[in-house]
Amino acid sequence: MRTETADQASDRCRRLATLVRKETWQILRDPSSILIAFVLPLILLFLFGFAVSLDANKTRVGLVVESKTPMTEDLAASFRASRYFSVADAYDRRSFEQDLVLGRIRGIIVITPTFVRDSVGRFGPQIQLIVDGSDPNTANFVQNYVQSTVSNWAAQRSTELATPSPAIRIEPRFWFNQELTSRDFLVPGAIAIVMTLVGTLLTSLVIAREWERGTMEAVMATPVTAAELLAGKIFPYFVLGMASMTLCVLVAVLLFRVPFRGSIFSLYLLSAAFLIPALGQGLLISAATKNQFLASQLALITGFLPSFLLSGFLFEIRSMPLPIQWLTTILPARHLIPSLLTVFLAGDLWPMFLRSIAFMLTVGAILFALAARNVSKRIG
């Protein structure tokens, strides 16, 4: 065991401090760092805040009332009044069929002439719904909203006709997000993706660039140790990732009015835990490729796309095939996103947070161990 003198320790600190300072200057002067850390996140956040909305409001549908009676008119009126639909009227369903093919409307609601007659019959009144199945997602929404509009109408009529209310009433409660605003979960989810961009894409690009430009070699030939070199890279990008996360949270809360019910402390703790594997991945990629083009491609394929698609952010993990479900467990973003959503929408929930943090740190430790093996002070 060698003991370290106070001098050596202070040398160590000074070297680390200077590496951090150098990296900071570079970040501030390199437009592509600013682009990836601040501009791209804002663009992503705006797109998720505005463009991607899973709430179908004002879906265009065609409405055909084939025989006019007060009753059918009443039903038609409730469709027109619905906030989910933007209704076009016609007398003949054939005039809508073309529109359906062309995608101008998403469905045709037909109130048939037999509607009134059926309402006194054995099987109850029927309406017809023709939906554009080419987009199954929208088709499902149209179907659900038509169904619920019709049920509401029927319930209302029932009370008017003084018949008993439906036998079983469901009291649905959507916890944490009563209005089911998709923005409220899309925007926090986008924050996780933004941190992947900074932690993995940017980090791998800058380190690969140092290899390409030969500065890595010059620094390595100084008394600096491999650990200092790694720490000197990680620390600034860690701070940058946190800064970019903070910016996103501010935009989310102040501009998009996403509720924030947890504590700032848990938000930062979770983000910090997430950045460890993200940075580890960036380091590993750059050490393995030493080439900016390959590094960026790998970062996109192994970092950005999976955190987008396989993290449970947009698509339900439980509904994916089993092998893909297994694959998701090694993705840090998959562990961050539920906790992040919880911090925003539900509040602090420590059992959940601690589990995610443990997962992320484990993945991080493995990635760092791999990266450290690659970034020993050796070239070639």
Partner 1 sequence: MWWTRLKALIIKELLAILRDPKGRIILIVPPIAQLVVFSFAATLEVTNVDVAILNRDSGRWGQELVYRIHARPTFGRIFMVDSPDALRSAIDMQQVVAAIQIGPSFSRDIEASASADIQIIFDGRKSNASQIVAGYLAQIVGELAAETPAGKRAAPVSVGVTLRNWFNPNLNYKWFIVPNLVAAIALLIGLIVSALSIARERELGTFDQLLVSPLRPHEILAGKVIAPMMIGLVHMTIFILAARLVFSVPLRGSLLLLYGSGLFYLLSVIGVGLLISALSTTQQQAILGAFLFMVPAMLLSGFATPIENMPDWLQPLTRVNPLRYFLVIVIGVFIKAMPWQEIVSNTIPLALIAITTMGMASWLFRRRLE
Partner 2 sequence: MDTFVRLTDIVKRFGHAPAALDTVSGSIRGGQITGLVGPDGAGKTTLIRLMTGLMLPDSGTVHVLDLDSRQNPAGIQASIGYMPQRFGLYEDLSVQENLNLYADLRGLPKEDRQAVFHELLTFTDLSRFAGRLAGKLSGGMKQKLGLACALLRKPRLLLLDEPSVGVDPISRRDLWKMVEDLAKQGVSVVWSTAYLDEAEACDCVFLLNQGKLLFTGAPADLTDRIKGRVFKLSGVEGRRRLILAKALDRPNVIDGVLQGEAIRLVMRAEEADGAPLEVASLGGKNAKLMITPPRFEDAFVDLLGGGPSGHSKLAESTKMRKAGDAGAVIEAKDLTKRFGDFTAAKDITFSIPRGEIFGLLGPNGAGKSTTFKMLCGLLKPTGGAGRVAGFDLRRDVAEARNRLGYMAQKFSLYGDLSVSQNLQFFAGVYGLRGDYRRERIALVSEIFSFAPYLEMSAKDLPLGLKQRLALACAVMHEPEALFLDEPTSGVDPITRREFWSHINGLVEKGVTVLVTTHFMDEAEYCDRISLIYRGQSIALGSPDELKARVASVDNSDPTMEDAFIALIKQQDQASLA
Binding residues vs partner 2 (CB under 8 A):
11, 14-15, 17-19, 21-22, 25-26, 29-30, 213-215, 217-225, 377-380
Asked if 100 touches partner 1 (CB under 8 A), the answer is yes
Which two tokens mark 295? 């590094």
Which two tokens mark 370? 């791999």
Helix (H, G, I), strand (E, B) or coil at 275: helix
Q: Which is nearer to partner 2, 203 or 339 (CB)?
A: 203
The listed partner (partner 1, partner 2, none) that binds 80, CB under 5 to 8 Å by sort, is: none
Rounded Cα–Cα distance for residues 170 and 68 (Å): 33
> Rounded to the nearest whole angstrom, what is the least distance from the CB of residue 372 to partner 2 in the complex?
16
Q: How many other C-beta atoms can be found within 10 angstroms of the C-beta atom of residue 98?
A: 10
Q: Which is nearer to partner 1, 259 or 372 (CB)?
A: 259
Angle between helix 182-196 and helix 226-250 axes, rounded to 10 deg? 160
Range 167-226, binding partner 1 (CB under 8 A)? 167-178, 180-182, 184-185, 205, 209
The listed partner (partner 1, partner 2, none) that binds 329, CB under 5 to 8 Å by sort, is: none
Q: Which residues, 6 or more positions from 269, have their beta carbon under 8 angstroms from its beta carbon?
A: 353, 357
Please, are residues 342 and 352 in contact by the beta-carbon 8 Å criterion? yes
- Please identify, among the stretches 1-9, 13-21, 124-132, 359-367, the one whose residues bind partner 1 according to the rule CB under 8 A: 124-132
Q: Which is nearer to partner 2, 140 or 297 (CB)?
A: 297
Which of 3, 5, 28, 163 touches partner 1 by CB under 8 A?
Answer: 163
Which of 345, 357, 360, 371 touches partner 1 by CB under 8 A?
Answer: 345
Q: What is the largest CA-CA distance in the chain?
A: 97
The listed partner (partner 1, partner 2, none) that binds 136, CB under 5 to 8 Å by sort, is: partner 1
Q: Which is nearer to partner 1, 231 or 346 (CB)?
A: 346
Helix (H, G, I), strand (E, B) or coil at 110: strand
Q: Which is nearer to partner 2, 15 or 183 (CB)?
A: 15
- Which DSSP category does 257 fall into? -
> Rounded to the nearest whole angstrom, what is the least distance from the CB of residue 368 to partner 1 in the complex?
26
Which of 24, 26, 78, 119 touches partner 1 by CB under 8 A?
Answer: 119
- Which DSSP category does 262 fall into? S
Closest of 33, 65, 14 to residue 207, by C-alpha: 33
> Rounded to the nearest whole angstrom, what is the least distance from the CB of residue 11 to partner 1 in the complex?
35
Helix (H, G, I), strand (E, B) or coil at 64: strand
Helix (H, G, I), strand (E, B) or coil at 109: strand
Q: Which residue has the tokens 């805040």?
A: 49
Binding mask 27-56 toward partner 1 (x if CB under 8 A, else -) reads -----x--xx---x--xx--xx-xxxxxxx
Which of 8, 95, 151, 215 touches partner 1 by CB under 8 A?
Answer: 151
Closest of 157, 141, 129, 153 to residue 63, by C-alpha: 129
Q: Which is nearer to partner 2, 7 or 171 (CB)?
A: 7
The listed partner (partner 1, partner 2, none) that binds 218, CB under 5 to 8 Å by sort, is: partner 2
Range 309-338, binding partner 1 (CB under 8 A)? 309-310, 314-316, 318-321, 324, 338
The listed partner (partner 1, partner 2, none) that binds 377, CB under 5 to 8 Å by sort, is: partner 2
Rounded Cα–Cα distance for residues 162 and 365 (Å): 67
Rounded Cα–Cα distance for residues 279 and 363 (Å): 11
Q: Which is nearer to partner 1, 8 or 128 (CB)?
A: 128
Rounded Cα–Cα distance for residues 233 and 235 (Å): 6
Please, are residues 367 and 277 in contact by the beta-carbon 8 Å criterion? yes
Binding mask 62-91 toward partner 1 (x if CB under 8 A, else -) reads -------------x----------------
Rounded Cα–Cα distance for residues 86 and 95 (Å): 17
